[in-house]
Structure 1
């Protein structure tokens, strides 16, 4: 029986009451501070000041705990809008916001479909907004938006982690790399790259995300209209 259907143990008088919700909230707090390496049933039990065996009555494995954590975050990813385009944009933007708030989420989205109730609610809202559109268009369109969001937010989180590891933000890294690029471009071997670096727009992550999302939604709209 999956964790979504398995009942919790009955309440009993103990010095430290437990629940799945309390366990998950504690795991979220640990992950938000120190990443997924800080999350295990043993570490969560220690944070709750209980023995690890008590947690197994509520959550059988670390994988179940991670699934519950992802679904808890999805409670805040509820797309809204009056059209399929507004709903898909809202889904993309709220997912990005959630990943920025919970950096570890970037490592868990994009695999097998999440089956928790909050995640299913999000999927239902998204697909309901596309009622009337042929399913042969809906399925790849939704997959394309999901792939775009996952790739974009993982790139942003990778950059954030690189800044922490190197001690240099993006502008500092660009300044340090600039002389090398200028010497390389002076050889004339990379004229297209040189033009983009020197003359192209320098967008921040939010602008890049929004414009790229518009390109994708424009393409979906053109396919639906056609």
Structure 2
């Protein structure tokens, strides 16, 4: 067989494989997107959603109606109120109500997310695009901090916040009074930032390192 015949045979084989692949893909897509499968998926989704929808409707119904009739009666005798949500947000078994606890969660979650991401993005950019001596060693050390169990750091962290850090008679970090409400959020922010920093730096480094150098050069220009 000559070289020309071999090339023609290879092209025919390649086209045949492509046709078979397209045919198999079309068959699989047709089976997965058939009308029966679509109807079955819709029916399953409806039955799956009904209990959640019933709880949602019940949350807006007066307590007397919810105790005496089912939620589906709302379509015949509609009666809605926001009293349930008001009682839920203003009640609580501790010194804080549910609404105050929700605000506290936002006050902790938002800064504890933004602060480590902001600091980690600066460090990740340095590791990805700046060349300095010992960069790889420092990056491996930062990545290795992820294997440190959080439980091992809780007691030293508590000691750092309560008594501070003093080296050779010089106070490096002042102690924060944990019982003081004015500083309670700050301690939580610092703790979350410390524990999240290694993973955040590692993930952002991998993302920033994939940015084409042309984009960085264009930004500098």
TM bin (shorter chain)? under 0.3
TM-score with structure 1 setting the length = 0.23
Of Structure 1 and Structure 2, which has the larger fraction of its residues in helix? 2
